[in-house]
Amino acid sequence: MSSPLHIIAIAGPSCAGKGTLAAWLATRLQASILPIDAYYRPLDHLTLEERSHVNFDEPASIDDDLLFHHLSCLRAGQPVDHPVYDFARHTRKPESVRLEPHGYLIVEGLFSLYWDAIRPLYCAGIYIEASNPICLDRRVFRDQRERGRSEFSVRTQYHDTVEPMRCLYVEPTRQFAGLVLDGTRDIESNGHLSLQFISKISTFSESLIAK
Protein backbone atom coordinates (compact mmCIF):
# COMPACT_ATOMS: atom_id res chain seq x y z
CA MET A 1 0.00 0.00 0.00
CA SER A 2 1.37 3.44 -0.90
CA SER A 3 1.94 5.93 1.90
CA PRO A 4 -0.98 8.33 2.49
CA LEU A 5 -0.95 11.98 1.55
CA HIS A 6 -0.84 14.08 4.72
CA ILE A 7 -2.88 17.26 4.22
CA ILE A 8 -2.19 20.00 6.76
CA ALA A 9 -4.43 23.04 7.13
CA ILE A 10 -3.06 26.40 8.25
CA ALA A 11 -5.78 28.93 9.07
CA GLY A 12 -5.97 32.31 10.76
CA PRO A 13 -6.60 36.01 10.14
CA SER A 14 -5.19 37.90 7.19
CA CYS A 15 -1.44 38.55 7.66
CA ALA A 16 -1.20 36.66 10.93
CA GLY A 17 1.67 34.64 9.45
CA LYS A 18 0.02 31.73 7.61
CA GLY A 19 2.05 32.09 4.42
CA THR A 20 5.35 32.46 6.27
CA LEU A 21 4.67 29.35 8.33
CA ALA A 22 3.53 27.39 5.27
CA ALA A 23 6.72 28.28 3.38
CA TRP A 24 8.91 27.38 6.38
CA LEU A 25 7.22 24.01 6.77
CA ALA A 26 7.21 23.28 3.04
CA THR A 27 11.00 23.43 2.81
CA ARG A 28 11.42 21.05 5.73
CA LEU A 29 8.67 18.61 4.84
CA GLN A 30 9.28 18.81 1.07
CA ALA A 31 5.63 19.71 0.90
CA SER A 32 3.53 21.44 -1.74
CA ILE A 33 1.45 24.48 -0.79
CA LEU A 34 -2.12 24.92 -1.94
CA PRO A 35 -3.29 28.49 -1.24
CA ILE A 36 -7.02 28.80 -0.73
CA ASP A 37 -6.75 32.27 -2.29
CA ALA A 38 -6.27 30.47 -5.62
CA TYR A 39 -9.91 29.40 -5.40
CA TYR A 40 -11.47 32.86 -5.40
CA ARG A 41 -14.35 32.74 -7.85
CA PRO A 42 -13.68 34.17 -11.34
CA LEU A 43 -15.18 37.64 -11.77
CA ASP A 44 -14.74 38.15 -15.50
CA HIS A 45 -18.45 38.99 -15.82
CA LEU A 46 -17.88 42.15 -13.74
CA THR A 47 -16.04 45.34 -14.59
CA LEU A 48 -12.77 46.02 -12.79
CA GLU A 49 -14.52 48.70 -10.73
CA GLU A 50 -17.30 46.28 -9.75
CA ARG A 51 -14.77 43.59 -8.80
CA SER A 52 -13.02 45.97 -6.41
CA HIS A 53 -16.22 46.20 -4.35
CA VAL A 54 -16.67 42.43 -3.92
CA ASN A 55 -16.29 41.16 -0.36
CA PHE A 56 -13.31 38.81 -0.65
CA ASP A 57 -13.25 38.18 3.09
CA GLU A 58 -16.30 35.98 3.37
CA PRO A 59 -16.36 32.23 2.59
CA ALA A 60 -18.81 32.69 -0.31
CA SER A 61 -16.02 34.34 -2.31
CA ILE A 62 -14.24 30.97 -2.45
CA ASP A 63 -15.21 28.14 -4.81
CA ASP A 64 -15.31 25.57 -2.01
CA ASP A 65 -16.88 22.92 -4.27
CA LEU A 66 -13.82 22.98 -6.53
CA LEU A 67 -11.51 23.02 -3.52
CA PHE A 68 -13.27 19.99 -2.06
CA HIS A 69 -13.09 18.19 -5.40
CA HIS A 70 -9.37 18.87 -5.78
CA LEU A 71 -8.52 17.80 -2.23
CA SER A 72 -10.58 14.64 -2.64
CA CYS A 73 -8.73 13.82 -5.86
CA LEU A 74 -5.37 14.40 -4.20
CA ARG A 75 -6.35 12.17 -1.29
CA ALA A 76 -7.22 9.50 -3.85
CA GLY A 77 -3.76 9.80 -5.41
CA GLN A 78 -4.82 11.82 -8.45
CA PRO A 79 -3.04 15.02 -9.59
CA VAL A 80 -5.02 18.22 -10.06
CA ASP A 81 -4.56 21.52 -11.87
CA HIS A 82 -5.46 24.27 -9.45
CA PRO A 83 -6.36 27.81 -10.54
CA VAL A 84 -4.14 30.88 -10.20
CA TYR A 85 -5.64 34.16 -9.03
CA ASP A 86 -4.70 37.61 -10.28
CA PHE A 87 -5.04 39.95 -7.29
CA ALA A 88 -4.47 43.09 -9.34
CA ARG A 89 -7.40 42.28 -11.67
CA HIS A 90 -9.56 40.45 -9.11
CA THR A 91 -10.11 37.37 -11.24
CA ARG A 92 -8.43 34.12 -12.26
CA LYS A 93 -5.51 33.95 -14.62
CA PRO A 94 -5.84 31.70 -17.69
CA GLU A 95 -3.06 29.37 -16.51
CA SER A 96 -3.19 26.71 -13.80
CA VAL A 97 -0.68 24.84 -11.62
CA ARG A 98 -0.26 21.05 -11.65
CA LEU A 99 -0.21 19.57 -8.16
CA GLU A 100 0.96 16.00 -7.61
CA PRO A 101 -0.08 14.03 -4.51
CA HIS A 102 3.00 13.10 -2.51
CA GLY A 103 4.08 13.18 1.12
CA TYR A 104 2.70 16.40 2.58
CA LEU A 105 0.36 19.07 1.26
CA ILE A 106 -0.16 22.36 3.10
CA VAL A 107 -3.53 24.07 2.56
CA GLU A 108 -3.16 27.70 3.63
CA GLY A 109 -5.78 30.42 3.85
CA LEU A 110 -8.33 32.33 5.88
CA PHE A 111 -10.97 29.63 5.60
CA SER A 112 -8.84 26.49 5.64
CA LEU A 113 -10.77 25.21 8.68
CA TYR A 114 -14.15 26.73 7.84
CA TRP A 115 -16.06 24.13 5.79
CA ASP A 116 -17.53 21.07 7.50
CA ALA A 117 -17.11 18.94 4.37
CA ILE A 118 -13.43 19.83 3.91
CA ARG A 119 -12.10 19.52 7.48
CA PRO A 120 -12.23 15.68 7.50
CA LEU A 121 -9.79 15.64 4.56
CA TYR A 122 -7.02 17.07 6.77
CA CYS A 123 -4.76 15.10 9.04
CA ALA A 124 -3.83 18.20 11.03
CA GLY A 125 -5.12 21.72 11.58
CA ILE A 126 -3.06 24.71 12.72
CA TYR A 127 -4.40 28.16 13.58
CA ILE A 128 -2.06 31.16 13.79
CA GLU A 129 -3.28 34.43 15.29
CA ALA A 130 -2.17 38.04 15.75
CA SER A 131 -3.89 41.26 16.81
CA ASN A 132 -5.72 43.50 14.35
CA PRO A 133 -3.15 46.35 14.53
CA ILE A 134 -0.31 43.96 13.71
CA CYS A 135 -2.23 42.29 10.89
CA LEU A 136 -3.20 45.64 9.41
CA ASP A 137 0.38 46.94 9.37
CA ARG A 138 1.56 43.72 7.72
CA ARG A 139 -1.26 43.85 5.17
CA VAL A 140 -0.49 47.43 4.15
CA PHE A 141 3.13 46.46 3.56
CA ARG A 142 2.24 43.27 1.63
CA ASP A 143 -0.54 44.64 -0.56
CA GLN A 144 1.41 47.71 -1.59
CA ARG A 145 4.45 45.64 -2.49
CA GLU A 146 2.88 42.49 -3.96
CA ARG A 147 -0.63 43.40 -5.12
CA GLY A 148 -0.33 46.94 -6.44
CA ARG A 149 -2.74 48.47 -3.92
CA SER A 150 -2.63 51.94 -2.41
CA GLU A 151 -2.32 52.34 1.35
CA PHE A 152 -5.70 54.07 1.47
CA SER A 153 -7.46 51.23 -0.35
CA VAL A 154 -5.83 48.61 1.89
CA ARG A 155 -6.81 50.40 5.10
CA THR A 156 -10.35 51.05 3.85
CA GLN A 157 -10.86 47.42 2.87
CA TYR A 158 -9.43 46.22 6.17
CA HIS A 159 -11.78 48.29 8.30
CA ASP A 160 -14.84 47.75 6.06
CA THR A 161 -14.62 44.01 5.46
CA VAL A 162 -11.43 42.28 6.66
CA GLU A 163 -11.82 43.02 10.37
CA PRO A 164 -15.57 42.33 10.68
CA MET A 165 -15.33 39.16 8.56
CA ARG A 166 -12.42 38.01 10.70
CA CYS A 167 -14.67 38.17 13.77
CA LEU A 168 -17.60 36.53 12.00
CA TYR A 169 -15.96 33.75 9.99
CA VAL A 170 -12.26 33.30 10.72
CA GLU A 171 -11.82 33.45 14.49
CA PRO A 172 -14.56 30.84 15.18
CA THR A 173 -12.51 28.25 13.24
CA ARG A 174 -9.82 28.40 15.93
CA GLN A 175 -11.77 25.70 17.77
CA PHE A 176 -11.05 23.20 14.99
CA ALA A 177 -7.26 23.51 15.21
CA GLY A 178 -5.15 20.99 17.05
CA LEU A 179 -2.41 23.60 17.48
CA VAL A 180 -2.80 27.36 18.02
CA LEU A 181 0.21 29.61 17.49
CA ASP A 182 1.07 33.21 18.32
CA GLY A 183 1.84 34.93 15.02
CA THR A 184 4.10 37.48 16.73
CA ARG A 185 6.59 34.81 17.77
CA ASP A 186 9.61 34.14 15.59
CA ILE A 187 9.17 31.69 12.74
CA GLU A 188 11.74 29.23 14.08
CA SER A 189 9.79 28.78 17.32
CA ASN A 190 6.43 28.43 15.60
CA GLY A 191 7.90 26.25 12.90
CA HIS A 192 9.43 23.74 15.29
CA LEU A 193 6.24 23.60 17.37
CA SER A 194 4.35 22.84 14.16
CA LEU A 195 6.81 20.14 13.11
CA GLN A 196 6.44 18.41 16.46
CA PHE A 197 2.66 18.55 16.18
CA ILE A 198 2.60 17.31 12.59
CA SER A 199 5.02 14.48 13.38
CA LYS A 200 2.75 13.16 16.13
CA ILE A 201 -0.39 13.44 13.99
CA SER A 202 1.26 11.85 10.95
CA THR A 203 2.57 8.91 12.98
CA PHE A 204 -0.86 8.38 14.51
CA SER A 205 -2.57 8.50 11.08
CA GLU A 206 -0.16 5.96 9.59
CA SER A 207 -0.63 3.62 12.56
CA LEU A 208 -4.39 3.63 11.99
CA ILE A 209 -3.92 2.82 8.29
CA ALA A 210 -1.49 0.01 9.15
CA LYS A 211 -4.13 -1.60 11.35
Q: Where are the domains of the chain?
A: 6-196
Which residues of the chain are modeled with pLDDT < 50? Answer: 1-2, 204, 206-211
Pick from 16, 29, 202, 180: which is nearest to 106 by CA?
29
Alpha carbons 162 and 56: distance in angstroms, whole number: 8
3-class DSSP state of 107: strand
**pTM value > 0.95:** no
Residues 101-119, buried b or exposed e (16+ Cβ, 10 A)?
Answer: beebbbbbbbbbbbbeebe
CB of 109 closer than 8 Å to CB of 37:
yes
- Quick one: DSSP state of residue 166? I
Bridge-based pairing of strands 80-86 and 91-99 is antiparallel
Q: What is the pLDDT of residues 159-194, one digit of tens each?
A: 999 999 999 999 999 999 999 999 999 999 999 999
- What pLDDT does 3 receive? 56
Superfamily classification of domain 6-196: P-loop containing nucleotide triphosphate hydrolases (3.40.50.300)
- What pLDDT does 211 receive? 36
- What pLDDT does 145 receive? 87
Alpha carbons 69 and 167: distance in angstroms, whole number: 28
Residues 6+ away with beta carbon under 8 Å from 53: none
- What pLDDT does 1 receive? 37
